[in-house]
Amino acid sequence: MIRHLEKDFDIKKLLAHTPQHTESVFSTAVLVYGLNFGGLGALTNYFLSIPFYGHFSLYFGQIFVLICLITRGLNAGIIASVISATALAVKMDDPFLFIILVSETFAVHIFLRKGKVLLVADVFYWLFIGVPLTLLLLLLTSNSSTELLIISGLTISINGIFGASVAALIYSFIPFQSVYRKYRGKPPKFATIIFSLCMLTVTLPTIAISLVFTWQTTAQKEQDLSNMLSKQGEQIMYVGEAFVNNHISAVKTLSSILSESSFSIPVQTVLDSTAKNYPSFTSMLVSGPDGEILYASPEKYAMMLGRTKKHTLHTRTYFNDAKRTLEPQLSEAIEGVGFGNDAILTVSAPIVLNDQFLGISQGAIRLSSFSKFKQEHIDDNEFYQYVITDRNNRIIFASDGLSLPMLSQFSYQPSNNILLRKIPELKLQNNKYLYYQTVTEHGWKITVLNSPSAVTQVISQNFYILAVGLLITLVVFSFIASQLSKRITLPLERLANHFNDTTFPEDIAKEAEISDEMIKVTDKLINSREIMLNFQQQLTEQVQDKTKQLKSLNQKLYHLAQKDGLTNLLNRSGFDDLAQTTFRNCVRNYVPLSMVLIDIDDFKQINDTYGHPFGDKCIVSIAQTLSKFCKRNTDLLGRYGGEEFIVLLSGGHIEEHHELTKQIHRAVQKTTVSNSEITVKMTISIGISSLSSNYGMTYEGLVKSADEQLYKSKRTGKNKISIYVQ
């Protein structure tokens, strides 16, 4: 009975029932919800994005899109997604974000229709669609390394899963009736709800902590590298300035000595001594006021003087500047003329006596000497390379690994490293470098270069460790949450499964000892079960008793419906039911049969003369006589109405049927019916219709034929037998 009630009243079907209707994408409700949620998502993406690391930002507009999707369906969700994703694509200058986020809305919709919860649906999207799609788009449009592309894809996916986790947390507080009808389905299991909530409580903090850790690690590594680059640049600048200033000081000292002595000392000796003390000078010269070179060192250049060719500096810019300003001069990088053609820098200082310009002292520093000086004074580091340029951007010094020719223009293209925000990147000779630039007091620009792998490898390693750690954490906690949900719901589930059983597992009560509330619930359910089983037992016994009574009544009703109450023979309905079955079997198998109709002669007169009770006694007497002769299993006997009886004889021979009928006729003639006052003899008229060859006749036709023979017996004097064989 209880199961019947469950079929009639299924609460799950009642909860899941929702009127069916279609919702147009252009309906007012869809447009309003889509525009509102999309506007909130767009504002959040455009103005409230949080800088993460490098050129990545955390965006949260997709939270509003997912909430719109689960409450208003796909049409409103797509409108919101298009608006929100467009704002983010414009903000980040990345049109592919539009494709990825709109695809997320479609995919989550499909997974929700399949019965997945929101968080699982979004994780499935990013694992199997989002990350591969992101990597594919980046591979087709970006020249970045595979490592950077993987980090980009993982960062975007973690951002998406974090947003979905927040949306799922909000979703858990949304009333069931507010969820879009196509996502409702049947109510989830209690274990699923517990598992989802446990995973949410772990996923959100874990991802948040992971994002903060990644941001701090990346920012710290970027800051460390920036500090190292600036440190290297400052070191090069200080050493370079000291090197140049030292040589400027040497030339100034030489000019001062010559000024004070008015060239009365052995100039060549002093010049040679100075050149010897400063080996970085490839040559040193002393000129007169007109620029003619008077003295030169080393000796090979001194020997070139006094020949027919006159050597002069009057066309040199540094000579004219020194003459004009009476201040020491440091030239730009130039190519030597006259005394060698090496790439050089010249340091010149005017020789002045009583404000009268007497000439200059000049030293030429070979640019190649910077490499030796760098090796002697700067710690060698294979990760850093250097370029020094003058005010005209001509290369004074470049690390050997760069293969940049001296005096060439230092040209490069700005580049962009998506993992770094503070450190700029440039592209030089098809290679990318992180760089730091500083300018010396002499206007030289020092560029320190470092390979991006110096920081990206560390960031990548940290990111991979973080991703693996996050994955392991989620897997472990998902297992713990699964076991916890099973432990909480197992007693309830087993109670539900065994609630109607006659035997009850004894360990269910022990399994419920996980909390005081669960023990109370289990005890209440066990007590309710015992009450229910007792009631069910009583109800079953009552039903069994009522069933027995009902069967007895049914048997009585069947007996009343099939039997004649006076004679206990079959009534007309009961006889016809059985006789038609017998008739069909005989016709099918060509078995001889005879239909016999019997009527008591002058029965109305008996009733009128002696009364109906005596008439009933006569009917019973005839029935008893018929029953004595019709004893075979194949014989059917019934009271066909009033004083009329019917017999169906089958099997054997037709002649046997006729003989049996004659015996009945004779027996009735000998039978008397009496009471205390009277005695009556009766006769009967009989009509027989037998089938022995014409098996095409119907049952009704056979009865009609027998009735015609009975009528013939009545018409021709009664107390007769009329037979028709066909």
Per residue in 638-662, pLDDT (tens digit) is 998 889 999 999 988 999 999 999 9
Q: Which of 141, 164, 187 is the last residue of a domain?
A: 187
Q: How far apart are CA 434 and CA 424, in angstroms?
A: 6
Is residue 136 within 8 Å of residue 166, measured between CB atoms? no
Per residue in 609-635, pLDDT (tens digit) is 888 889 999 999 999 999 999 988 889
Per residue in 254-301, pLDDT (tens digit) is 999 988 888 788 989 999 999 899 888 888 999 999 988 889 988 888
Residue 619 lies in a domain: yes
| Stretch among 330-344, 349-363, 416-430 having the lowest mean pLDDT | 330-344
Can you give the three-state secondary structure of 404-437, one letter per residue? Answer: CCCCCECCCEEECCCCCCCCCEEEECCEEEEEEE
Per residue in 51-76, pLDDT (tens digit) is 877 777 888 899 999 999 888 888 99
Q: Which helix (H) or strand (E) holds 465?
A: helix 453-498
Per residue in 93-112, pLDDT (tens digit) is 888 889 999 999 999 999 88
Q: How far apart are CA 607 and CA 612, in angstroms?
A: 5
* Predicted local confidence at residue 181, as pLDDT: 62
Note the maximum CA span of the chain. 197
Q: How many C-beta atoms surround the C-beta of residue 107 within 10 A? A: 19
Of the pLDDT bands very low, low, confident and very high (cuts 50, 70, 90), residue 503 is low
3-state secondary structure of 246: helix
Sheet containing 684-691: which strands, arranged edge to edge?
636-641, 644-650, 593-600, 684-691, 721-725
Residue 177 lies in a domain: yes
Of the pLDDT bands very low, low, confident and very high (cuts 50, 70, 90), residue 43 is very high
Q: How many C-beta atoms surround the C-beta of residue 128 within 10 A? A: 11
Over 60: is that where the pLDDT of 432 sits? yes
DSSP letter at 8 equals H
| Stretch among 188-202, 403-417, 694-708 having the lowest mean pLDDT | 188-202
* Predicted local confidence at residue 251, as pLDDT: 93
Residue 385 lies in a domain: no
Q: How far apart are CA 591 and CA 86, in angstroms?
A: 92
Q: How far apart are CA 76 and CA 71, in angstroms?
A: 9
At 428, list the tokens. 């030089």
Q: How far apart are CA 694 and CA 87, in angstroms?
A: 96
Q: How many C-beta atoms surround the C-beta of residue 675 within 10 A? A: 11
CATH number of the domain encompassing residue 596: 3.30.70.270
The pLDDT mean for the chain works out to 82
Number of domains in the chain: 2
Q: How far apart are CA 645 and CA 325, in angstroms?
A: 159
At 304, list the tokens. 């070139």
Q: How far apart are CA 264 and CA 470, in angstroms?
A: 83
| Stretch among 144-158, 256-270, 360-374, 488-502 having the lowest mean pLDDT | 488-502
* Predicted local confidence at residue 361, as pLDDT: 93
Q: Which of 187, 218, 235 is the last residue of a domain?
A: 187
At 113, list the tokens. 């229709």
* Predicted local confidence at residue 455, as pLDDT: 74
Question: Comparing 110 with 516, which gets the higher pLDDT?
Answer: 110
Is residue 399 within 8 Å of residue 125, measured between CB atoms? no
Over 50: is that where the pLDDT of 681 sits? yes
Over 90: is that where the pLDDT of 84 sits? yes
Q: How far apart are CA 389 and CA 367, in angstroms?
A: 11
Per residue in 579-600, pLDDT (tens digit) is 999 999 999 999 999 999 999 9
Specify the residue for token string 């009989």.
686
Is residue 101 within 8 Å of residue 62, measured between CB atoms? yes
* Predicted local confidence at residue 204, as pLDDT: 76
Per residue in 111-142, pLDDT (tens digit) is 888 878 788 888 888 888 888 888 888 788 77
CATH number of the domain encompassing residue 130: 1.10.1760.20
* Predicted local confidence at residue 347, as pLDDT: 92
Question: Comparing 491 with 40, which gets the higher pLDDT?
Answer: 40
3-state secondary structure of 345: strand
Residue 367 lies in a domain: no
Of the pLDDT bands very low, low, confident and very high (cuts 50, 70, 90), residue 18 is very low
* Predicted local confidence at residue 20, as pLDDT: 41
Residue 246 lies in a domain: no
Amino acid letter for position 124:
F
Q: What totals of helices (H) and strands (E) does the chain contain, helices first?
A: 22, 21
* Predicted local confidence at residue 52, as pLDDT: 76
Q: Which of 141, 171, 187 is the last residue of a domain?
A: 187
Per residue in 184-241, pLDDT (tens digit) is 666 666 666 777 777 777 777 877 787 787 778 778 888 888 898 898 888 888 888 8
* Predicted local confidence at residue 104, as pLDDT: 92
Question: Comparing 381 with 634, which gets the higher pLDDT?
Answer: 634
Query: pLDDT over 90 for what percent of the chain?
Result: 27
Angle, in degrees to the nearest 10, between helices 190-261 and 369-377: 120
Q: How far apart are CA 726 and CA 654, in angstroms?
A: 10
Q: How far apart are CA 69 and CA 34, in angstroms?
A: 9
Residue 588 lies in a domain: yes
Q: Which of 219, 138, 218, 228 is nearest to 460 (CA)?
A: 218
* Predicted local confidence at residue 4, as pLDDT: 37
The count of C-alpha atoms lying within 13 angstroms of the C-alpha of 118, restricted to the half-sphere facing its C-beta, is: 30
Residue 681 lies in a domain: yes
Domain residues for 619? 572-725
Q: How far apart are CA 32 and CA 18, in angstroms?
A: 23
Residue 170 lies in a domain: yes
Q: How far apart are CA 354 and CA 630, in angstroms?
A: 173
Query: Where is mean pLDDT largest: 33-37, 201-205, 225-229, 564-568?
Result: 33-37
Whether this prediction's pTM lies above 0.75 is answered by: no
**Pseudo-torsion of CA 403, 406, 408, 412, nearest 10°?**
40
* Beta-sheet pairing, 721-725 with 445-450: unpaired
Q: Which of 526, 542, 440 is nearest to 235 (CA)?
A: 440
* Predicted local confidence at residue 502, as pLDDT: 63
Q: How far apart are CA 322 and CA 324, in angstroms?
A: 5
